[in-house]
Amino acid sequence: MGYIEGKSRYQTQIICLDEYVGKESVCRIIDRFIEGADLKGLGFKRAVPKELGRNPYDPAYMVKLLVYGYEHAIRSSRKLEELTLVNIEVMWLMDELKPDFKTIADFRRDNLVPLVNLLSEYNAFLDFCGLFGKQLVAIDGTKIKASNNKKNNYSKKKLARNIEHSEQRIKEYMALLSESDDMDEACEANNKIKEYEKRIEKAKGYLNSLEASGGNEISTVDPDSRLMGNNRSGVDMGYNIQISVDDKAHLVAAFDITQNPTDHGQLSNMAEKTQEVFLKKEITVLADKGYYGGDDIEATEKLGVTPIVARQLKPGEKDGKRFSLDKFVYNRDKDEYICPEGKQLMAHSKSKTKDRIFFNKDACQDCPFKGECLGKEKYRRIVRKPQNDILDRADKRYLENKELYKLRQQTVEHVFGTVKRTMNGGYFLLCKKEKVRAEAALLLLGYNIKRTKGFLGVEKTMELMGEWEEFLNARLIVVFLKTVSPLHFSGKFLWA
C-alpha cells in the first residue's frame, strides 16, 4: 500500500479562502461584530476616507486584526504583521491585506479611546442577548506587569542613597588622583568622576520633580506605573486591573486601571461603573476582604448597591480568643458593650464624639478572668469609631450570606487566569495609563468573545448579531423620525 498523497504545491489551483476557515472559528464572530459596529460613532480615525491624499486602510480591517491577535495571545505589532502573511484566518479577515508593523502600531496608538469604546459596544450586544444577569457581580483586582523595570523606578530614599554612594565614589577617585602619577589611571579617574557627577545631577533632578509633584516615586520609562507586589513574593512595576464579572455567564461587565497596589477604595468605583453598563442601580456585589473599608462600603450602599464584603479582622481581634474585641457585642438600644461574661461596658463619651470610649472599672476589678482579658491595662477599654456602625452592618450582611459569597471566587478569579495564561496577558506592551487602558480593553474584549463562543456557539452568536443589527437600525429610524417630525410621531415602537 502507498501513502495518502497530497496536491502538488506547484499546481495552480482555484481556491476560496472561506473554505479554509472553520464554521466554528472565532474569527467569524470577530468579523461579523466589527462589520456591524459603527466605527465612526465609536471614534475611530479615518472611519470615513478623505477625498484627497493617499488611501488609508479601512479601520475595520485594523480592528479585526488587533482583536483577533489579542484573543489569540498575539499582541506584538511585528507578530501581527507576520500573521497577515502566514495565517489563513487572518488572511480571510483582512481580505489578504498586509499592513506593516508600523501601520499596526500607529493605528493602535492613535485609537486608544475608540478601542475602549469597542468593549462597551460588545457588552451592549451581550446585554441584548440576555447574557448579563444584572443581579449579582463579583469584583476583584490583579497586578499586571508594566512595560518598565523596577531599576528605572526611584523613590526619595533610593535617590538619596544613590547620591550618597556617588559622592563617596567621587571622594575615592579624588584620593586616587592625588596619589597616582600614572597618566592612564588619572585619565580613567577623571572620567569616573564626571560620570558620577552626572548621576548626582540626574538624581537631584528627579528629587526636585518629586518635591514639585508631591509624589513618592518616579519612573523614567513608564511614569504612570507603580511599584507593586507580584505573585513571586517580590515587587515589580505594574498596574492594578479592576474588573467586575456578572455571575450568569461570567462575562466582564466593567473594568478600570488603578495605580494603587491595594484594592482599598475601589468597591464603590467598580459598583458605579457596573451600574452604568447595566443601566440599573439595584445589584449585589461580592468582594474579598481587600475591599473592606467603612467609607467605601458606605459610598457603595449610597449608590443603591448591596455589597457583600468578606470580613477583615479589626485591630484587637484575634480569632479563637475568648476575649478578643469581636467577642464584645455592641447594644445599640442601650448604647453599651456586653463583654463575653455578660458585664456591661458603659459609654464615657458623648454620642456625637468622634472616637467614643466604653469601659466598666468595677466589673473588670472583680472579674475572675481579668488575667486572661487584660494585658498591662487595669480595665478593658473599647474605642468605637464612626465607621464601626458601617462595618458592623457589613459584617452582619456577610455572615448572613456566606453561601452566596462562595460564588465570588468561581465567578471572577478564573478570568484573570484566562487573560494571563491563555491570552498571554500577564504584561503590558504599551506605556502610560491611557495606553494600558486600551490594551486591557482589548484583552477583556478577547476574553468576552472567547466566553461568548463557549456559551452560545458561533452559529447562535452570528444569528443574534443579525438581530442586534436590525435592532440598532430600527432604533436609528425611531431617532430619525423623532428628529424630523416630532409632532406627528406616534411613539408606538417597542424598541424606542
Question: Quick one: pLDDT at residue 471?
Answer: 87
Per-residue burial over 137-149, b = 16 or more CB atoms within 10 Å of its CB, e = otherwise: bbbbbbbbbbbbe
395, part of any domain: no
Task: Give the pLDDT band (50/70/90) at residue 377.
Answer: confident
Range of the domain at 408: 136-146+237-312+401-435
> In which residue are the cell numbers 477583556 written?
444
User: In terms of domains, do 114 and 170 share one?
Assistant: no
Q: How many other C-beta atoms can be found within 10 angstroms of the C-beta atom of residue 315?
A: 6
Question: Is residue 65 domain-resident?
Answer: yes
> What's the pLDDT score for residue 476?
66
- Contact in structure between 471 and 495 (CB atoms under 8 Å): yes
- Stretch 144-160: mean pLDDT: 86
Q: What's the total number of domains in the chain?
A: 4
pLDDT of res. 220: 83
Task: Read off φ and ψ for residue 337, nearest 5 degrees.
Answer: -105, 145
Specify the range with the lowest mean pLDDT, choosing from 151-155, 333-337, 437-441, 465-469. 151-155
Give the mean model confidence (pLDDT) for residues 415-443: 94
Reduced to 3 states (helix: H, G, I; strand: E, B; else coil), residue 86 is helix
Q: Which residue has the higher pLDDT, 253 or 352?
A: 253
pLDDT at 318: 60
What is the mean pLDDT of the segment spanning 111-129?
Answer: 95
For residue 472, the surrounding DSSP H or E stretch is helix 458-484
Return the amino acid letter for 470: E
16: Cβ contacts below 8 Å, ≥ 6 apart: none
> What is the predicted pLDDT for the residue at 115?
96
Beta-bridge partners for 359: 346
Section 378-405 average pLDDT: 88
Examine the pLDDT at 263 and tell me if it is beyond 80: yes
Same domain, 36 and 163: no
pLDDT computed for residue 382 by the predictor: 86
Do the domain assignments include residue 1? no
| Confidence at residue 291, expressed as pLDDT on a 0 to 100 scale | 93
Same domain, 27 and 117: yes
Extract the C-alpha cell encoding 125. Answer: 450586544
Q: Characterize the bridge pairing of strands 329-331 and 336-338.
A: antiparallel
pLDDT > 50? residue 490:
no
What is the pLDDT, as a whole number, of residue 256?
A: 96
Spatial neighbors of 8 by CB under 8 A, at least 6 apart, are none
Q: In degrees rounded to 5, what are phi and psi of residue 486?
A: -65, -25
In three-state secondary structure terms, 431 is coil
Residues 343, 360: contact at Cβ < 8 Å?
Answer: yes
- Reported confidence tier of residue 494, pLDDT bands at 50, 70, 90: very low
What's the pLDDT at 131?
A: 94
CB neighbours of residue 329 within 10 Å: 11
Report which of residues 7 and 459 the model is more confident about: 459
pLDDT at 408: 95
DSSP E strand boundaries for 59-147: 136-145
Domain co-membership, 296 together with 410: yes
Mean pLDDT of 57-76: 95
Give the span between the Cα atoms of 48 and 55, in whole angstroms: 11
Same domain? 27 vs 125:
yes
Length of the chain (residues): 496
Under 8 Å between Cβ of 455 and 131: yes
Query: Is the distance from CB of 13 to CB of 7 less than 8 angstroms?
Result: yes
DSSP-based three-state secondary structure for 356:
strand
Specify whether 329 is located in the same domain as 421: no
DSSP code of residue 418: I
Mean pLDDT for the stretch of residues 437-443:
96
- Residue 181: predicted pLDDT: 64
Angle at 443 between CA 46 and CA 251, to 5 degrees: 115
* Residues 411 and 302 placed together within one structural domain of the fold: yes
**Which among 396, 407, 171 is positioned nearest to 284, based on CA atoms?**
407
Tell me: do 174 and 111 sit in the same domain.
Answer: no
The answer on 261 and 173 residing in a single domain is no
Q: Cβ(444)–Cβ(434) under 8 Å?
A: no
| 398 sits in which H/E element | helix 388-400
Amino acid at 72: H
Q: What is the pLDDT of residue 110?
A: 93
Asked which of 16-20, 52-56, 309-313, 322-326 is least confident by mean pLDDT, the reply is 52-56
The pLDDT assigned to 95 comes to: 92
User: What is the spatial distance between Cα 166 and Cα 182, in angstroms, rounded to a whole number?
Assistant: 23
Check residue 5 and report its DSSP letter. P
Higher pLDDT residue, 13 or 96? 96
Where does the pLDDT of residue 481 fall: very low under 50, low under 70, confident under 90, or very high at 90 and above?
low
Q: Grid coordinates representing 286?
A: 461580592
The reply to whether 347 falls in a domain is yes
Residue 320 pLDDT more than 80? no
pTM of the model: 0.84
- One domain for residues 201 and 173: yes
Percentage of the chain beyond pLDDT 70 is 91
Confidence of residue 52 (pLDDT cuts 50, 70, 90): low
Clarify whether residues 295 and 341 are in a common domain: no
In a domain, residue 75? The reply is yes
CA distances from 23 to 131, 240, 429 (A): 22, 38, 32
pLDDT category at 316 given cuts 50, 70, 90 is low
Grid coordinates given for 399: 455572615
pLDDT for res 79: 96
Determine which helix (DSSP H) or strand (DSSP E) holds 435, and give its type and residue range.
helix 433-456
Q: What is the residue type of 257?
A: I
> DSSP string spanning 135-199?
SEEEEEEEEEE-SS-GGGEEEHHHHHHHHHHHHHHHHHHHHHHHH---HHHHHHHHHHHHHHHHH
Least confident range from 119-133, 241-255, 259-273, 470-484: namely 470-484
Q: Read off the CATH number of the domain in which 407 is found.
A: 3.30.420.10
Residues 6+ apart with CB under 8 A from 92: 17, 18, 20, 21, 27, 31
**Mean pLDDT for the stretch of residues 369-374:** 82
Range 151-156 average pLDDT: 83
Average pLDDT over residues 14-43: 92
Query: Does 224 map to a domain?
Result: no
Has residue 7 been placed in a domain?
Answer: no
**pLDDT, position 49:** 66
What confidence score (pLDDT) does residue 333 get? 83
The per-residue pLDDT for 255 is: 96
Let me know whether 121 and 86 are in one domain: yes
The arithmetic mean of pLDDT across residues 279-287, rounded, is 93
390 or 452, which is more confident? 452
For residue 406, count CB atoms less than 10 angstroms from its CB and return exposed for 0-12, middle for 13-18, buried for 19 or more.
exposed
Task: Reply yes or no on whether the pLDDT at 46 is more than 80.
Answer: no
Contacts of 44 (CB under 8 A, 6+ apart): 59, 63, 111, 114
Q: Which three cell numbers stand for residue 167?
A: 559622592
How big is the chain by its Cα radius of gyration, in Å?
31
* Across 154-166, average pLDDT: 86
Amino acid of residue 243: I
Give percent above pLDDT 90 in the chain: 50
Does the pLDDT value for residue 232 go beyond 60?
yes
Grid coordinates of 450: 472567547
Instruction: Give the residue, 226 or 483, on which the prediction is more confident.
Output: 226
Q: How confident is the model at residue 12 (pLDDT cuts 50, 70, 90)?
A: confident
Mean pLDDT check: name the lowest of 24-38, 48-62, 220-234: 48-62
Given a cut of 80, whether residue 114 has pLDDT beyond it is yes
Rounded (5°) CA angle 456-458-460: 55
What's the pLDDT at 492? 38
Q: Is the pLDDT of residue 233 over 80?
A: no
Question: Does residue 228 fall inside a structural domain?
Answer: no
